Amino acid sequence: MIIVLKNNKSEKEIGAFKEYLEQKYNVGVHVSVGHDSVVLGLIGDTSAVDEDSIRAQEIVGEVKRVGEPYKKANRKFHPDDTVIILGNGLKIGDGSLTLIAGPCSVESEEQVTEVAIEVEKSGAVILRGGAFKPRTSPYAFQGMGADGLDLLKKARAKTGLPIISEVMSSSQIELFDDVDIIQVGARNMQNFELLKALGKQPKPIMLKRGLSSTIEELLMSAEYIMASGNEQVILCERGIRTFETKTRNTLDISAIPILKKLSHLPVFIDPSHASGLPWLVEPLSMAAVAAGADGLIIEVHNNPAKALCDGAQSLTPEMFDSVVKNIKKVADSVGKKL
Amino acid sequence: MIIVLKNNKSEKEIGAFKEYLEQKYNVGVHVSVGHDSVVLGLIGDTSAVDEDSIRAQEIVGEVKRVGEPYKKANRKFHPDDTVIILGNGLKIGDGSLTLIAGPCSVESEEQVTEVAIEVEKSGAVILRGGAFKPRTSPYAFQGMGADGLDLLKKARAKTGLPIISEVMSSSQIELFDDVDIIQVGARNMQNFELLKALGKQPKPIMLKRGLSSTIEELLMSAEYIMASGNEQVILCERGIRTFETKTRNTLDISAIPILKKLSHLPVFIDPSHASGLPWLVEPLSMAAVAAGADGLIIEVHNNPAKALCDGAQSLTPEMFDSVVKNIKKVADSVGKKL
Amino acid sequence: MIIVLKNNKSEKEIGAFKEYLEQKYNVGVHVSVGHDSVVLGLIGDTSAVDEDSIRAQEIVGEVKRVGEPYKKANRKFHPDDTVIILGNGLKIGDGSLTLIAGPCSVESEEQVTEVAIEVEKSGAVILRGGAFKPRTSPYAFQGMGADGLDLLKKARAKTGLPIISEVMSSSQIELFDDVDIIQVGARNMQNFELLKALGKQPKPIMLKRGLSSTIEELLMSAEYIMASGNEQVILCERGIRTFETKTRNTLDISAIPILKKLSHLPVFIDPSHASGLPWLVEPLSMAAVAAGADGLIIEVHNNPAKALCDGAQSLTPEMFDSVVKNIKKVADSVGKKL
Amino acid sequence: MIIVLKNNKSEKEIGAFKEYLEQKYNVGVHVSVGHDSVVLGLIGDTSAVDEDSIRAQEIVGEVKRVGEPYKKANRKFHPDDTVIILGNGLKIGDGSLTLIAGPCSVESEEQVTEVAIEVEKSGAVILRGGAFKPRTSPYAFQGMGADGLDLLKKARAKTGLPIISEVMSSSQIELFDDVDIIQVGARNMQNFELLKALGKQPKPIMLKRGLSSTIEELLMSAEYIMASGNEQVILCERGIRTFETKTRNTLDISAIPILKKLSHLPVFIDPSHASGLPWLVEPLSMAAVAAGADGLIIEVHNNPAKALCDGAQSLTPEMFDSVVKNIKKVADSVGKKL
């Protein structure tokens, strides 16, 4: 961390500030006296140094963090890709492309099982399905809850597909005991109490980027989970909020190579939520694979028009099958196994 | 709600869709056959009608909601301003200007009591102080927790000021039994499980707008609390995320008159978080009052440079005193009592 | 266009408004009287109907445009892809992938010729080079001007590559007489006087999307050029402005399939300006090709560190050669010839 | 400017880079060798140093500009407020509040004269009126052109009000010979050729902030005009583009105090374009005055429903009169004369 002091500070003031930094944060401080400014360089582990608090000091002009504020999620300290292995032996982040598919909401045993059978045929290796649904309106369908999780498990029993579902509160976590991957939705990306609780779970967590969260904030939220003990984190970009209105959100495709460079964690893309439009799922999926994504999570419903939630963005099983064929071509071209 | 159908649909298809809408949502449907498009008008309570689900129907071209999707927060159905009365008789939203002030984080009995005494002298009528702190980094100070709430209560005992503090999870709510107002932070604005739980509390909730949440989403989150039974909601704008970098966030000043028009709930502004810069608190506060805000929530610390969190944006008690004097001038000019 | 009237308007008022619309805009108006609202449907060519002006009428509640406000750029009225043919017979938008490469700024004959020879070897078919440079600072290098265009022509003479360069004002257009494609930069996307003047040019125009322009606004700017008589327009997405700071701009990858659906014009991507980072050019280019782009425009400099402008985002010729090899793999997989 | 070098660079490399900087930019370079990083401090005038070009150097890790890149617009080098004096003696930026009002577009002699007479009565001291209109659609009314300017002059003759109108291209400038203030619209804020040409005009220029331009970019565009010789620049904030949809743009109220701090130029607000809604003009104007604006520019039309452009956001003269009364109260409270 580089701190530029305001002009015209006395040696005594500078010395006192140097001592304060050394003691408060247990770091070394290198003082460099320039022509018209004094620059301090902080040496050592500065991840706990609060930029805002430094900035509040009367003596300080500018602050610039040189290193990253995350450690466990940082590729610098963990150069190899993290590979996550599920109970059935499925590997995520090992250079293959992982397809997750399923309905937005679990609605009935028939629905989820039928979709599971179909998407597996097309190439999906994990089944998604919402049991607890974060809905903008309190009057909208809020999901089947624990019953929905049971139906997902039945579909897993039938197909062998591991399951992923979203948790909305730490009080729900125990219901997810037998769920293979727990998802944190975009709206909860900075629900820090939830992140800490998930850090104590012995299973992978898929962490979705918040609608207005920066890439660095996403990594800091991953750090919350990892610092609490759980290093099996999957990052997921699902669109950010911009002024453009043709799509529900704007897929930040650059997030893929940037996250892969800064972190060792697997990076997934959710083209269904990013666009909100079923016909965009194919080109966005193909782009994501070309840009280096480790996996995709796609909404598939056997009857989108009757879906209780977000049907507008779901593919039918037939559409999904066709999309996977085109995804496969791109995956082949970049050396990713599907 | 207006639904424009795609061209060239048969009468039979249109009739079937009309029936489907009537049955599924218990609304009336008025069909209007134009020259080259058919438009359906939904009549009755459409707040539970899911636009996305409508949009997913093959027959549908465009959907436009004409009414608002919120009811309890809607001024249409509750023309009079909501006035909230605290235990000590203090009224919020009654045409006066309510000043809330205090430290970002509670750090010690001495700190919070000293600040409380000072801000009361200057005109604050409620004491704020963070006990549970939502921090981007897991390595940053996370607040004193329950002990912090106890210190706030001690400061209340000394000054008589009611207290407000932020809750971060439904599991913490019982600790807030003796807190006068519970605050929901911007990052939790769409933590729907928390909102539902707060809807069962017998006390006012201050709901902060999320960094990338629309005004309508803020009102929908208020609706969550109200639909669960608690109609004492205070809305708080605290800056949204844009491309501008001179300020931490961009204060959306227009949100004040818009929220006052759409809703009957009191509207507060947090100029400290909106800007992240202490010298901007004064002009933003003055602007907020001129635009019709019912109250302000301002960070004041007796030693900003030593604050454990967000010191950079805190005023000293002396600065606060001076800011209040200027706020008062504007308040007088628009007929608000301080 | 659908207009929802305010409630409780008399038949006379409605009739008068209907007549006003019919006369002012030469459209048919279909009136549909619902239970609690009256909806007007405008029939005919509504592209000249000004939504704002309609919205200003006291009688109007809501306005929704159903059709698109652009005609010549609209695929509905021109289902086949526009194919642009340059003087040397090169086709753009015919299903092949067109690579444009070259330096940000033309700096010397040696520089631009050397880069031209190198990028041609790697697969570029058009040479880019800035002669007039839009720089944020008046103190930064503003380009070589007319001399720069001359050097570009010399490089064309040596390599046979057609050339593209940016115009910044209608008074400069005559200098571009012998330039193959004229580029309009993002900052000039809504310089309507310039667009009208370019509409009278007998050559292709590459129109870059403004940093905060919507997809519809980009198409409306294309419409300006086309309505003035020049239908050879190439659209170019080059990143939009968001809150994310890791990249200079956020590449809106969804813009590719959306523009291809809404319009028949060729769609290019500028990964160099979108990211501002040379190492991101490869993954973004690959993503763009997978998403259906018709071409790419990439900055290549033989000595990025000494570039007079934007060197930070330029590839070296060696890097470009390697990037093209990976682009080619993706292009092959989606059936695009390079 | 502070440059942090990459680790493990040799003394020789560092020395060579130091020399390169000194020679290329004519600055002093102070080298400070820290524990694990080397930091260079540039001393002298760094406004011409291109950050991007520095960043492109292989040896460079990070770059941080400490000073501002603008000089003539910078309050540091010009501590006193710029006061602009019009031909009739009217002062702008002298601590008073300047009200500009008039129609979006000039439509007829009767219209503009009538509006001029009315707004003058209410307190406006300058008449606005668009002759050349930047419209998103080529099919929308493009303004009366030179004839519109003539009608403005007639209204000036009748009322004595100085006039302001928007120029869209440098080729139009000669038509503005007898116009008192020339306005640059938001879409042309970075039309650098136009800015340079206006820098040679002997009259005040009102420069509107671009929809996605930062505060620093606005000041850099002012710098273009000033560096070309014209220091009479008025800055105008008119809303930026965000995700919020209730208003056409989001008024960045913080821009007022920030611009006043960074620059000595007068700062105006355009509440009509910022919101796009007439009923928001009053609260936004009051907020702007409370936050320290030097002036307001407001759209007033004698028949908004028949306005040929942007009628939806115009006030009637009666509404304007009432708005001014409320603005006056706030202005009084902050010591601004109207």
Tokens of B231: 């109609």
pLDDT higher than threshold 90 for residue D49: no
A123: confidence class by pLDDT, cuts 50, 70, 90: very high
Instruction: Give the residue ranges of DSSP H helices in chain D.
Output: 11-25, 51-55, 109-122, 146-159, 192-198, 215-227, 255-262, 271-275, 278-290, 317-333
> Given this model, what pLDDT does residue A269 score?
98
Three-class DSSP category at B315: strand
Averaged pLDDT for residues A86-95: 97
pLDDT higher than threshold 80 for residue B56: no
Whole-number average pLDDT of chain D: 93
Show the beta-strand stretches assigned E in C51-204: 60-64, 84-85, 91-92, 98-102, 126-128, 163-167, 181-184
Give the CA count within 13 Å in the CB-facing half-sphere of A173.
18
In angstroms, the Cα distances linking D158 to B177, C64, D161 are: 69, 41, 8
pLDDT higher than threshold 90 for residue A32: no
Task: Please state whether beta strands D84-85 and D91-92 pair in parallel, antiparallel, or not at all (unpaired).
Answer: antiparallel
Show the beta-strand stretches assigned E in chain B: 2-5, 28-33, 38-43, 60-64, 84-85, 91-92, 98-102, 126-128, 163-167, 181-184, 205-208, 233-237, 267-269, 295-299
H/E element, A101:
strand A98-102
A6: confidence class by pLDDT, cuts 50, 70, 90: confident
> Given this model, what pLDDT does residue C31 score?
83
Q: Are A148 and A161 in contact (CB under 8 A)?
A: no
Three-class DSSP category at D320: helix
> Given this model, what pLDDT does residue C290 score?
98
Averaged pLDDT for residues C136-152: 93
Q: Which chains touch D (3 or more CB pairs under 8 A)?
A: A, B, C
Which residues in C lie closer than 8 A to residue A246 (C-beta atoms)? 214-216, 254, 258
Instruction: Identify the bridge partners of residue A250 per DSSP, sorted by sequence position.
Output: A240
**% of chain A residues with pLDDT over 90:** 75
Name the one residue in this structure whose structure tokens are 């002030």. B101
DSSP string, A18-53: HHHHHHHH--EEEEEE-SS-EEEEEES--TT--HHH
Which residues in B lie closer than 8 A to residue A280 (C-beta atoms)? none
φ, ψ for residue C165, nearest 5 deg: -150, 160
Q: Please report the number of interchain residue pairs, chain A to chain C, with beta-carbon separation below 8 angstroms.
A: 121
Tokens of C67: 């059709």
Q: Count each helix (H run) and each strand (E run) in chain D, helices first.
A: 10, 14
Tell me the pLDDT tens digit for each residue of C71-92: 999 999 999 999 999 999 999 9
* Burial zone of D150 (CB within 10 Å; 0-12 exposed, 13-18 middle, 19+ buried): middle
Tell me the pLDDT tens digit for each residue of A227-246: 999 999 999 999 999 999 99
pLDDT higher than threshold 80 for residue D86: yes
> Given this model, what pLDDT does residue B295 score?
98
Lowest mean pLDDT among A285-299, C15-29, C53-67, C192-206: C53-67
B63: confidence class by pLDDT, cuts 50, 70, 90: confident
Distance of CA A162 to the CA centre of its chain: 19
A24: confidence class by pLDDT, cuts 50, 70, 90: confident
Averaged pLDDT for residues C110-118: 97
CA dist., res. B56 & res. A170, Å (int)? 33
Q: Does B246 touch chain D (CB under 8 A)?
A: yes
B2: confidence class by pLDDT, cuts 50, 70, 90: confident
Buried b (16+ CB within 10 A) or exposed e, B145-166: eeebbebbbebbeebebbbbbb
Three-class DSSP category at D11: helix
Averaged pLDDT for residues A129-145: 92
Tell me the pLDDT tens digit for each residue of D276-330: 999 999 999 999 999 999 999 999 999 887 777 767 789 999 999 999 999 999 9
Tell me the pLDDT tens digit for each residue of B95-143: 999 999 999 999 999 999 999 999 999 999 999 999 999 998 898 889 9
CA distance to partner chain D, nearest, from residue B251 (Å): 7
A305: confidence class by pLDDT, cuts 50, 70, 90: confident
Averaged pLDDT for residues B21-33: 85
> Given this model, what pLDDT does residue C29 score?
87
Instruction: Give the residue ranges of DSSP H helices in chain A.
Output: 11-25, 51-55, 109-122, 146-159, 192-198, 215-227, 255-262, 271-275, 278-290, 317-333
Residue in C2, C42, C242, C250 to test binding to B, most B beta-carbons within 10 Å: C2
Q: Which of C114, C91, C161 is nearest to C318 (CA)?
A: C114
Contact D283 B275 (CB under 8 A): no
Q: Are D326 and D286 in contact (CB under 8 A)?
A: yes
Contact D244 B288 (CB under 8 A): no
A35: confidence class by pLDDT, cuts 50, 70, 90: low
D57: confidence class by pLDDT, cuts 50, 70, 90: confident
CA dist., res. B191 & res. B211, Å (int)? 14
Q: Are A35 and A70 in contact (CB under 8 A)?
A: no
CA distance to partner chain C, nearest, from residue B32 (Å): 6
pLDDT higher than threshold 90 for residue C42: no
Which residues in D lie closer than 8 A to residue C58 (C-beta atoms)? 305
> Given this model, what pLDDT does residue A23 score?
87
pLDDT higher than threshold 90 for residue A205: yes
Buried b (16+ CB within 10 A) or exposed e, A195-224: bbbbbebebbbbbbbbbbbbbbbbbbbbbb
Which residues in D lie closer than 8 A to residue A62 (C-beta atoms)? 64, 66
φ, ψ for residue A310, nearest 5 deg: 55, 30
Contact A289 C288 (CB under 8 A): no
Averaged pLDDT for residues D173-196: 97
CA distance to partner chain C, nearest, from residue A135 (Å): 25
0.90 surpassed by pTM: yes
Averaged pLDDT for residues D121-125: 98
Name the one residue in this structure whose structure tokens are 């790419």. C296
Residue B10 CB: number of other CB atoms within 10 A? 9
CA distance to partner chain C, nearest, from residue B180 (Å): 36
Out of A303-312, C19-28, D324-333, give the one with best mean pLDDT: D324-333
Closest partner residue to B227 among A52, A138, A314, by Cβ?
Answer: A138
Name the one residue in this structure whose structure tokens are 């940000």. C104
Q: Are C234 and C207 in contact (CB under 8 A)?
A: yes
> Given this model, what pLDDT does residue D310 score?
67
CA dist., res. C209 & res. C203, Å (int)? 19
Residue type, A118: E
Nearest chain C residue to D277 by CA: give it: C56
DSSP string, D289-300: HHTT-SEEEEEB
Contact A241 D243 (CB under 8 A): yes
Q: Does D62 touch chain C (CB under 8 A)?
A: no
User: What's the full length of chain B, in residues?
Assistant: 338
In angstroms, the Cα distances linking D47 to D43, D66, D191, D259 are: 11, 11, 21, 19
B220: confidence class by pLDDT, cuts 50, 70, 90: very high
CA dist., res. B84 & res. D137, Å (int)? 49
Averaged pLDDT for residues A97-101: 98
Q: Are D70 and D223 in contact (CB under 8 A)?
A: yes
The answer to whether C2-64 and C75-333 have equal CATH topology is no
> Given this model, what pLDDT does residue A7 score?
77
Q: Which of B232, B141, B125 is nearest to B183 (CA)?
A: B232
H/E element, B195:
helix B192-198
DSSP string, C198-262: HTT-SS-EEEEPPTT--HHHHHHHHHHHHHTT---EEEEE--B--S--SSSSB-BTTHHHHHHHH
Q: Does C322 touch chain D (CB under 8 A)?
A: no
CA dist., res. A165 & res. A182, Å (int)? 6
pLDDT higher than threshold 80 for residue A307: no
Averaged pLDDT for residues C319-328: 98
Q: What is the dihedral of CA D209, D212, D217, D218, to 10 degrees?
A: 10
Q: Which fold is adopted by the domain A2-64?
A: Alpha-Beta Plaits (3.30.70)
Whole-number average pLDDT of chain A: 93
C55: confidence class by pLDDT, cuts 50, 70, 90: confident
Longest dimension (CA), chain A: 76
Tell me the pLDDT tens digit for each residue of C240-287: 999 999 999 999 999 999 999 999 999 999 999 998 999 999 999 999
Tell me the pLDDT tens digit for each residue of A168-189: 999 999 999 999 999 999 999 9
Identify the CATH assignment for D75-333 out of 3.30.479.10, 3.20.20.70, 2.40.110.10, 3.30.1320.10.
3.20.20.70
Question: Regarding predicted confidence, which is higher, B159 or A62?
Answer: B159
**% of chain D residues with pLDDT over 70:** 99
> Given this model, what pLDDT does residue D264 score?
98
pLDDT higher than threshold 90 for residue B325: yes
Lowest mean pLDDT among A86-95, B32-41, C288-297: B32-41
What ranges do the domains of chain B cover?
A: 2-64, 75-333
Name the one residue in this structure whose structure tokens are 């004041």. B300
Whole-number average pLDDT of chain B: 93
H/E element, C110:
helix C109-122
CA dist., res. B82 & res. B88, Å (int)? 18
Averaged pLDDT for residues B33-49: 77
User: What's the full length of chain A, in residues?
Assistant: 338
Instruction: Identify the bridge partners of residue A297 per DSSP, sorted by sequence position.
Output: A100
CA dist., res. D80 & res. B96, Å (int)? 38
Q: Which of A178, A143, A150, A174 is nearest to A162 (CA)?
A: A178
DSSP structure class, residue B105: B
Task: Please state whether beta strands A38-43 and A2-5 pair in parallel, antiparallel, or not at all (unpaired).
Answer: antiparallel
**% of chain B residues with pLDDT over 90:** 75
Q: Chain C window 203-232: which residues touch A at a Cβ cutoff of 8 Å?
A: 212, 214-216
> Given this model, what pLDDT does residue B36 score?
64
